[in-house]
Amino acid sequence: MRDLIIIVKKELTELLRDKKTIINSIVLPTLLIPILMFGGIKVSQMISESNQQKTVQIGLVNAPEDFMKLVKGDSLNEITNYTESIDFKTLIEDGTIQTALVFSSDWQTHMDSLTSSQIQIYRNGTKDNVNGRVSKMLETYSTELKKQRIAQLRIPVAKMTPFSENYIEIGEQKELIGKRVGGFIPYIFILTMWGGCLLAAIDLVTGEKERKTIETTLSLPISKFNVLLGKSIVASLLGFLPALLNLIGLIIGLNFIDGIPDEFKLAINEMLNFQSISMILLLLIPFSLFLAGFIIALVAGATTFKEAQSKASPLIIVIIIPLVMALLPGIEFTWSTVFVPVLNIGLGVKEIMAGTIDMGMYAAMLFSLIAFAVAAIYFSYKKFSDENAILK
């Protein structure tokens, strides 16, 4: 134990004196979420504001008076009237107009006889702002016409409204948001954890080879297992630390960044209480050891940083696929998914944040992660003991 502490202390001192490690494992994870939140909110606000101020150039054919009045009601709409339907595709492509509405030539006859008519809408599906505003205008116009017809036919409003919907929410706000947002949170911290573990593991194993100190380390009167365990602990710490800082960044971001809806803020704050944070962090301890052990095993035979990176990088796919699966509808935290690493964390964190986690399943997941961590450390020890690989 004493030797292990000495090794951990030395490896940690070395790593924390490396600028690359400080930036990737401390600075970036702390700032990542607040920057993403702040940036995301600001960008969406800017887009929304600029969209509201944009003019929409609309081409109209056979438009009835009441519709013209509705369109002119918004000063940002620029209208061009056409007497007949022409090549609107070209006009939209060259930017003369952004959309065109072609009312049928017998529009008024249909309206008078209370039958259904047709409007052809030329549009570019990618122009969300233009299409949204046109759809909204058409919806308003349609509602107005319906009202007029109901009045004309003297039908009581109640008869045209067979039922009204009244939702009574029985799920807590926390549960709703937890299940929706909870799946995304592991994405952030597992990916930063991966980055932290990867850099640290490569520096501690391949870096030692590059700096030609591996022989010195192996000549010390400490067992190879203790050397390896020390390196794994430090690599996992450097993976765990960014994840912890991510959570801290999230809490700071929620409390200090303006523009987040209050009910969302409240729900997230309620989710990220002491108990749920402790439960999440407890899962991340064996998981970071598992990652560290696995990466060390992969890079043990590499002689350069580049080679180590190319050997370990494909592992990210094994991490991302279960995380994506955890977001898919229909995949739940059950006894069959509880033992699948990464997927269990993705699903488990959702349940923890929603406050619906089954403690028996949580314990099973924790033990399975510990078992995976032990297996990964053993695997890395085997690789680290391979004289052909380590002294290459």
Min dist CB 19 to other proteins, Å, is 11
Residue list 258-287, contact with other proteins (CB under 8 A): none
Helices (H), the chain: 2-15, 19-22, 28-53, 65-72, 88-93, 107-112, 128-152, 173-181, 184-210, 214-218, 224-256, 262-271, 274-299, 305-312, 315-327, 343-354, 359-384, 387-390
Q: Which is nearer to other proteins, 223 or 273 (CB)?
A: 223
Phi, psi angles (nearest 5°) of residue 170: -100, -20
Using rule CB under 8 A, residue 358 touches other proteins: no
Min dist CB 238 to other proteins, Å, is 14
Using rule CB under 8 A, residue 303 touches other proteins: no
Using rule CB under 8 A, residue 218 touches other proteins: yes
How distant is the alpha carbon of residue 89 from its chain centre? 37
Contacts of 58 (CB under 8 A, 6+ apart): 71, 77, 78, 79, 80, 97, 98, 99, 100, 101, 134
Site string for other proteins, 13-32 (x = CB under 8 A): xx--xx--------------
Using rule CB under 8 A, residue 1 touches other proteins: no
CA distance 291 to 240: 10
CA distance 132 to 52: 11
Q: Which is nearer to other proteins, 169 or 387 (CB)?
A: 387
| Two structure tokens written together for 347 | 């699903």
How distant is the alpha carbon of residue 206 from its chain centre? 32
Q: Which is nearer to other proteins, 222 or 252 (CB)?
A: 222
Using rule CB under 8 A, residue 212 touches other proteins: yes
3-class SS at 86? coil
Using rule CB under 8 A, residue 223 touches other proteins: yes
Using rule CB under 8 A, residue 115 touches other proteins: no
Which of residues 68, 151, 176, 391 is near other proteins by CB under 8 A? 391
Which of residues 31, 35, 79, 222 is near other proteins by CB under 8 A? 222
Q: Which is nearer to other proteins, 225 or 378 (CB)?
A: 225
Using rule CB under 8 A, residue 6 touches other proteins: yes
Which region, left, alpha or beta, applies to residue 140 given φ > 0 means left and ψ of -120 to 50 means alpha? alpha
Q: Which is nearer to other proteins, 17 or 159 (CB)?
A: 17
Binding site for other proteins (CB under 8 A): 3, 6, 10, 13-14, 17-18, 211-213, 215-216, 218-223, 387-388, 391
